[in-house]
Structure 1
């Protein structure tokens, strides 16, 4: 009963924490997941902190290597949305009382593998023991050309909405891991589950969006929610054509078998794709950047004057499913 009166995550931030950051321009009024700090005459630092908790953000029995990878990669996804290339990170690790050195060695191997993969290095942190669940907090730092970082608030009316990769795999992958999509093929289930357990941050694309995108977000809370974050920060409305949203083979099979799963696809989150506002005149530049990164991008909608998120099917507005993951 007590939860009914609680405010949501973004209202909480706006009410209590945004005033504390108001005097610092690089915080962007806390409307973006990243902060931008001057690093040197040529670069800004893009800074992002994320926390993942066992049983909330990853399965409680997940391997230590994959826990490490997910914790780091969700931060790298935000750096990509900011147009940054990875630089260094700090790690805060709250280990449960029953931790073992074998587990910790596997966790360190997972971090080492991703450091090599993404060109990032550990530069500090903290470790504690907690009576609660395993909790991993990473603060990642990226670099972007001075003044060129991409936030959420720069979209303009008439901009197109694009998304990288495929959408809905993370949410459907969680259902698969829970044994709730038994009718998919073994290959489809394996693909979707991997997409949930092991995000693929679009670091090869993010820095190429500088000078092309007017606003970006990573799809962590859900496509509708994160496109909505851009619209809200830009004081615009956004329309998404549902049937233009790119789906994997497993995603297509899932919604064909049960159309109710569109709610999970559009609102489930954990995809870690990039949703991007781009002026129509820069379409060719976007496609060239995506090709250079080896990542597909798809136009799924557009921004206009107004507010809110509208979902259409064959051009007609339909009731939107849940709009995204709610942290509180």
Structure 2
């Protein structure tokens, strides 16, 4: 009796082993799920999916993908206020290397010209533009005497852009002609936008390079109105063409551009397209003054 029972047990175990070896992983999983007491997990490591071999035949090791990062811009204009001099201007500091041969990209505020051709509009200053400009009652020129221009220009990035400017109505067509000539010459301009009122009270950062005309302010170190306050003066790439008087350089970080023998894009020189085009509409150039020397500055009033 005992012998027969033992034989039956051995036979049943053998069949179970054979059946277990023939079941698929899915079937084994279903069986384990149906079992009221699933087996306890073993200490073996969880299975991993092997990476395909590399071209050299060596197995690849799995590694997390590198983090995605956005490259920081080379220079953020207006980000760092300068310590002040006794005269209220910022301290004149050495030009940072990234600005010594300045070629920052232009941020588009208006749609660029669609066909790459020079385009210009001349219109009364829209209320929305007035609201973000420096004009206010008490400025020496009435709104009716000003015009709002949009004009094509080439950026230092080699792309065509559209800029904006407020000028005196009497000079609007002439100024448009000047920038038409600069565009044909592919003279680079970094930005061309209307100066906002809050900018007049900001701490100096010494790195601005906005090409613009109307700004309702007094002349530097003067009690009288600047020609800019009439829309009859215009600054071209101020950083590349600084204002110089004694030890003062404006913008304050543009000291490397005091050296006019080191010719770089965006600089204005005697006899070039900018000087000739402004002279053709009767505007004088501050680069011809002895002191101060205002290389960026063109004016219908001679100041």
For normalisation by structure 2, the TM-score amounts to 0.28
**Higher strand share goes to which structure?**
1
Q: Give the structure, 1 or 2, with the largest relative contact order (CA under 8 Å, sep 6 or more).
A: 1
**Is the radius of gyration larger for structure 1 or structure 2?**
2
Report the TM-score, using the length of structure 1 for normalisation.
0.26
The structure with the largest helix share of the pair is: 1
